[in-house]
Structure 1
């Protein structure tokens, strides 16, 4: 089915004759990616998840991100933007929404090969993005009110090991949710253009040349929260093993490039509860709610990984805050 759509994409956008069968690219957890080689060049196609596109706010969010992407394109920022056709980046064929990109011959980095040099580059570029159209406006985010007990009860009929895992960490989930809801109200009133998912999988490297991808997540948000999340992800948080040299490198480079640092890091620590929303999203997938069979398997795996991240984050609170306090001295 996907390859039928891709053939129609090539025809509709006048990409020329397809020279080899499209190949699925792996790594994305929400949408499908394919490489496409035609007589006019090589491209990457992102087929947007139809279940995501059914959400009431989806189209408005994508459209807002497109406008920010066009703004960032005006600056010397190493991004890989979607190609525009007839004034639009997002395209649609037979109800399938998609983006098309020029091919970039790079690859995302595994945690074990990330160096201080990579982290300094990421910190510097993040600071540049955050300085585009910065605003002094209150940061607002809706509180999250996730009914963990209901999900735990449903999981008992789906997967016994996940049921036990969630039940064992029930108190931590509710505690993190409550503390996060309180902390989010205290975030300093500054908004910047934020990528919102700039971890290592969303930066492609070719030597030390690189491009930031997945720009459809762009929005105005807190630069302090994003800096902190990026520093975590690039320093080993994804494998529950933070390297504090890498962690410091992201933040130090960001600051040296003109990025502003928060005064109270404990508020930033407590407000970093996006993993709870990601956990809920994957619990729904594991339960088969609004997803395909393929996504259900991804959900089962992601629930385990995300719970491990939440537990680890709680365990390293003191170490993280001690490291961050160094930037206030």
Structure 2
């Protein structure tokens, strides 16, 4: 908390009133609510393991650049504040604040709440799809084909390590080993068949990263902004918004997300059913959390426990996706045809 107090003081945010309170919900970083004499702020403390990666600062700088582009295009985002005169800031971007070896962002406090994952509405799915479409429409381009980045998780080696450590995740990995290997194969095959496209994208814009206030969406957690394949991004997020994350797939919500997306941006592509394997991008989140659970990321007990919980959750999602593949592909095969009059 002392770092946050120093940050508030040196960035001219006033005097702290009351207690600094943690905000629940984040899986990667820690967030705090801070009330001061100048207003209410959300302070994000970035995960030190993430920030220790070689390209972390470069990636965050790029995300901040794209965040400004989204703001300029009227996308409803909650952007980090800039501090031109803050003595803590040695970066050109003026958003990221280093304090005693840790890194922080400060945001204006956004009223509202994350939607209940068990009660996501068709209207919310439409609006989320529309926002993603608007983002992709800013700067989408066909590009020269290149070798896709393929997933190469060695689940057998991770299972051996889990057994050697007598980890609680070992039985889950062993029981689902073939499923996970098959899912990775499908993911890689889909990536090989993606049309060569690139667009600004927010691939982390799942339901936990949009806040709703009086029916209006506000996109939060923009650190993953970057350039990616818009077709892959659309399919992955459409499936998350339609209930595949919590095992409650709703075909009408999947249709609503795509309607919002295609109303905002339509590149004419419709063969999403042939790329269902993109749904298994969860494989890479699973790998990270297996390593978390095995103490390969950090020896912090809370981090290990979080890795154990997320390993279990993610395996359940992959199993569920496998069980509803036919239902999803039926919706994808019947998306409305492109309006050729507008091409």
TM over 0.5: yes
- Report the CA distance shift for 1:159/1:236 in structure 2 as closer, same or farther (over 3 A): farther
C-alpha displacement of 1:190: 1.5
Inter-partner Cα distance in structure 2 for 1:77 and 1:39: 29
> RMSD between aligned alpha carbons?
1.6
Contact 1:204 1:212 in 2 (8 A): yes
Q: Which residue does 1:23 correspond to in 2?
A: 21
Distance 1:313 1:112 in 2: 17
For 2:45 and 2:281, the matched residues in 1 are separated by 24
- Tell me what 2:273 maps to: 266
Distance 1:112 1:46 in 2: 27
Matched, 1:119 2:125: yes
Instruction: Find the aligned partners of 1:320 and 1:113 in 2 and give their Cα distance.
Output: 19
Which residue of the other structure, out of 192, 211, 226, is the alignment partner of 2:218? 211
Displacement of 1:305 after TM fit?
A: 0.5
Alpha carbons of structure 1 residues 139 and 13: separation in structure 2 relative to 1, 3 Å: farther
Cα distance between partner residues in 1 of 2:167 and 2:72: 51
Q: CA deviation at 1:252?
A: 1.3
Tell me if structure 1 keeps the 8 A contact 2:97–2:103: yes
In 2, Cα distance between the equivalents of 1:203 and 1:55?
27
Structure 1: which 5+ residue stretches go unaligned?
none
Gap runs ≥5 in structure 2: 85-92, 338-343
Counterpart among 94, 100, 105 of residue 99 in structure 1: 105
User: Pick from 299, 303, 307: which aligns with 2:311?
Assistant: 303
Secondary structure of the equivalent of 1:273?
Answer: helix
Between 152-161 and 85-94, the greater mean CA deviation after superposition? 152-161
Find out whether 1:128 has 2:139 as its counterpart.
no
Q: Is the contact between residue 224 and residue 261 of structure 1 (CA under 8 Å) also seen in structure 2?
A: no
Whole-angstrom distance in 1 between the partners of 2:52 and 2:148? 22
Cα distance, 1:183 vs. partner? Answer: 2.1
Q: Distance in 2 between matches of 1:128 and 1:193?
A: 10
Q: Which of 102, 110, 114 is residue 108 of structure 1 equivalent to?
A: 114
Aligned to 1:89: 95
Distance 1:129 1:123 in 2: 10
CA distance in 2, matches of 1:273, 1:88: 37
1:255 Cα shift?
Answer: 1.1
Separation in 2, partners of 1:182, 1:245: 27
- Decide which of 195, 199, 218 is 1:192's aligned counterpart: 199
Tell me what 2:282 maps to.
275
TM-score, structure 1 as length reference: 0.95
- Where 2:104 maps in the other structure, the secondary structure is strand
**Is 1:49 equivalent to 2:47 in the alignment?**
yes
1: distance between equivalents of 2:148 and 2:16?
45
How far residue 13 of structure 1 moved from its aligned partner, in angstroms, is 0.7
Which residue in 2 is equivalent to 1:176?
183
Query: Contact 1:224 / 1:268 at 8 angstroms: preserved in 2?
Result: no
**Contact 1:116/1:249, CA 8 A, preserved across alignment:** yes
